[in-house]
Amino acid sequence: MGPGPSDIPPRVLEAMARPTIGHLDPVFLQLMDGLRDRLRQLFQTKNETRLAMSGTGSAGMETLFVNLVEPGDKVLVCINGVFGNRMADVAQRCGATVEKVEKPWGQVFDQDEVIAAIERVKPNVVAIVHAETSTGAHQPIDRLGAAAHEHGALLLVDCVTSLGGAPVKIDEWQVDAAYSGTQKCLSCPPGLSPVTLSPRAMERMAARKSKVQSWYLDLSMITQYWGSERVYHHTAPINMLYGLDEALNIALEEGLDARFARHRAMHDLLRAGLADLGVHYVSQDGHHLPMLNAVSVPAGIDDAAGRKQLLNDYGI
Ligand SMILES: *Cc1c(COP(=O)(O)O)cnc(C)c1O
């Protein structure tokens, strides 16, 4: 019972224990095609570009920034917790001029505030965290894609903690680039980062004036391995991909709507119980994540000692 890595179902662990075959073996390539199809369903998108980067969620974050940002570009980053800060750091390292809009931790942005910032800053890319794990805040983002496009910007979204636990509607919300991770709501060990990019984002990449600064994360080469060309770039982490494939099977067997409803029902029960104990949420009322519940340490309780007791006595 932590924010990730989540518990792993035995089916996923068993899948990962299968023999390691070659990264160009036809059997493995078939598994990758199936996995891409399941990613389409999970991301609720028609985007052609859907794949799992070799690395954790942060590698997915870095992938999108290094591919979509060129030195001198303006990036608007919304910060209300740990992961917004990390995005600003990564964008800066790409040579971007970073403009920040900030909110106190736990609060969410009113979408109109972000839209006003887009109008003021005129960025090339707008970056925002959908589920801020550090505070449990659930950020509404459904109107930001259209506003970004109106001003020539791309919308880049961190859905590491939301994908598989709450709706992530890439096409309906006009998200251009999104990354996630395997060890949160997909209940798979850490090590892969599912990403998807819109045709608009792929056009931006194709129009780059400079090479992507990272060889390992350069999508122009990696998409040729995941696509029909099957050009070797780096050795895919075979057994991790077995695990993700099975984790996505489990998610889709349950059904996304049923899965979201289950998280919501458990959240409502937990929140009611915590309220009875006088334990309050850190995130803004009306914007609590269903699958990640961040609470304040009650007055009079020592933080470190309290958490140690929860871990040792209750496995929380
Ligand atoms: C966990 C997390 C990340 C980073 O993922 P790693 O797998 O730890 O690299 C990024 N963003 C959010 C919102 C996260 O919860």
Atom of ligand 1 nearest to the CA of 4: 1
- Calculate ∠ Cα 83-246-50, nearest 5°: 55
Residue 286 CA to residue 32 CA, distance in Å, equals: 39
Band the pLDDT of 54: cuts 50, 70, 90.
very high
Probe target for ligand 1 pocket from 89, 160, 185, with the most ligand atoms within 8 Å of CB: 160
pLDDT of residue 81: 96
For the cut 90, the answer to whether the pLDDT of residue 1 exceeds it is no
Among 56-60, 248-252, 299-303, the least confident range:
299-303
Band the pLDDT of 315: cuts 50, 70, 90.
confident
CA of 160 to the centre of ligand 1 (A): 6
pTM above 0.85, yes or no: yes
Q: Which two tokens stand for residue 21?
A: 């075959």
The residue among 23, 49, 35 whose CA lies nearest residue 230 is 23
Q: Residues 171-184: pLDDT tens digits?
A: 999 999 999 999 99
CA of 255 to the centre of ligand 1 (A): 24
Alpha carbons within 13 angstroms on the beta-carbon side of residue 111 total 14
CA of 9 to the centre of ligand 1 (A): 21
pLDDT of residue 110: 98
Atom of ligand 1 nearest to the CA of 131: 13
Residue 92 CA to residue 101 CA, distance in Å, equals: 15
pLDDT of residue 13: 98
pLDDT of residue 168: 98
Mean pLDDT of 48-71: 98
CA of 86 to the centre of ligand 1 (A): 10
Probe target for ligand 1 pocket from 77, 80, 133, 283, with the most ligand atoms within 8 Å of CB: 133
For the cut 90, the answer to whether the pLDDT of residue 131 exceeds it is yes
Residue 226 CA to residue 205 CA, distance in Å, equals: 17
Percentage of the chain beyond pLDDT 70 is 100
CA of 203 to the centre of ligand 1 (A): 27
Atom of ligand 1 nearest to the CA of 83: 11
**Which residue's alpha carbon is nearest to atom 12 within ligand 1?**
160
Residue 203 CA to residue 161 CA, distance in Å, equals: 28
Probe target for ligand 1 pocket from 54, 56, 156, 293, with the most ligand atoms within 8 Å of CB: 56
pLDDT of residue 126: 98
Mean pLDDT of 31-54: 97
CA of 6 to the centre of ligand 1 (A): 13
pLDDT of residue 247: 98
Supply the DSSP symbol for 227.
S
The residue among 157, 161, 147, 207 whose CA lies nearest residue 177 is 157
CA of 58 to the centre of ligand 1 (A): 6
Band the pLDDT of 109: cuts 50, 70, 90.
very high
| Ligand 1 shell residues, CB under 6 Å | 4, 56-58, 83, 129, 131, 133, 158, 160-161, 181, 190
pLDDT of residue 2: 75
Band the pLDDT of 4: cuts 50, 70, 90.
confident
Mean pLDDT of the chain: 96
**Which residue's alpha carbon is nearest to atom 14 within ligand 1?**
160
Supply the DSSP symbol for 152.
T
For the cut 90, the answer to whether the pLDDT of residue 90 exceeds it is yes
pLDDT of residue 257: 97
Mean pLDDT of 71-99: 97
Band the pLDDT of 302: cuts 50, 70, 90.
very high
